[in-house]
Amino acid sequence: GTFPQLRSRIFKIIVIGDSGVGKTCLTYRLWTGRFPEKTEATIGVDFREKVIEIEGEKIKIQLWDTAGQERFRKSMVQHYYRNAHAVFFVYDVTNAASFHSLPIWMEECRRHSRGQEVPRILIGNKRDLRSSARVGAELARKFAEAHRMPFFETSAKSPQGYDCMETILITVAQGLK
């Protein structure tokens, strides 16, 4: 056709979780294919777009990276939950506190999605790191099952982790089509 861009569909995915879990690195990795050399603290909301092709159809994925700091978030929160197609809840597998924060983030999501069932995906990031205080994958899987979310452990830092993220995107986009 004359306006092929009009046929591409847009999916808005929000990336949520405590500060420091790797939301910006994951978003950057998915967007550019690389791990950022340095990241600055996210201020408010920032989004990145990536086009993926599924069964010959171009799908534009908007990844909304968010800041954990309350003072930035209050005014933004409504804006970024609006018309979201999916939510990524991210925690850091070496930081138990970030795992225990998940119910708070999920409650906020519920409040702002106004009764709509937004697909949610649980992501344990930094799987490349070793730690004695690691959040067990079994525990996380049980939590994800209880809340009917797919669960993935990933790494923004390692190429394998990135492949996993790409798989997640494709899975999500296929589910939304």
Q: Please identify the residue of the shown chain whose CB is closest to the bound ligand GDP.
A: 22
Token readout for 122 is: 């649980």
Min. distance of Cβ 154 from ligand GDP in angstroms?
A: 7
Min. distance of Cβ 165 from ligand GDP in angstroms?
A: 10
Task: Please pick, from the candidates 84, 157, 162, 173, the single residue that binds ligand GDP as defined by CB under 6 A.
Answer: 157
Tell me the backbone φ, ψ of residue 91, rounded to 5 degrees: -130, 170
- What x/- string results for residues 2 through 41 when contact with ligand GDP is judged by CB under 6 A? -----------------xxxxxxx-------------x--
Contact status: 155 vs ligand GDP (CB under 6 A): yes
Binding segment toward ligand GDP, per CB under 6 A, in 6-14, 101-109, 137-145, 156-164: 156-164
Min. distance of Cβ 114 from ligand GDP in angstroms?
A: 26
Residues 45 and 65: their CA atoms lie apart, in Å, by: 6
Binding segment toward ligand GDP, per CB under 6 A, in 3-11, 133-141, 142-150, 155-163: 155-163
Q: Are 61 and 51 spatial neighbours (Cβ–Cβ below 8 Å)? A: yes
Give one DSSP letter per residue of 55-101, joined into a string.
TTEEEEEEEEEE---HHHHTTTHHHHHTT-SEEEEEEETT-HHHHHT
Choose the one of ligand GDP, Mg ion, none that binds residue 113, judging by a C-beta under 5 to 8 angstroms depending on kind: none
| Token pair 């979780």 in the structure block, residue | 17
**Strand ranges in 106-173 using DSSP code E only, listed in sequence order:** 120-125, 151-153
**Furthest C-alpha separation in the chain:** 58
Residues that bind Mg ion (CB under 5 A): 23-24, 42
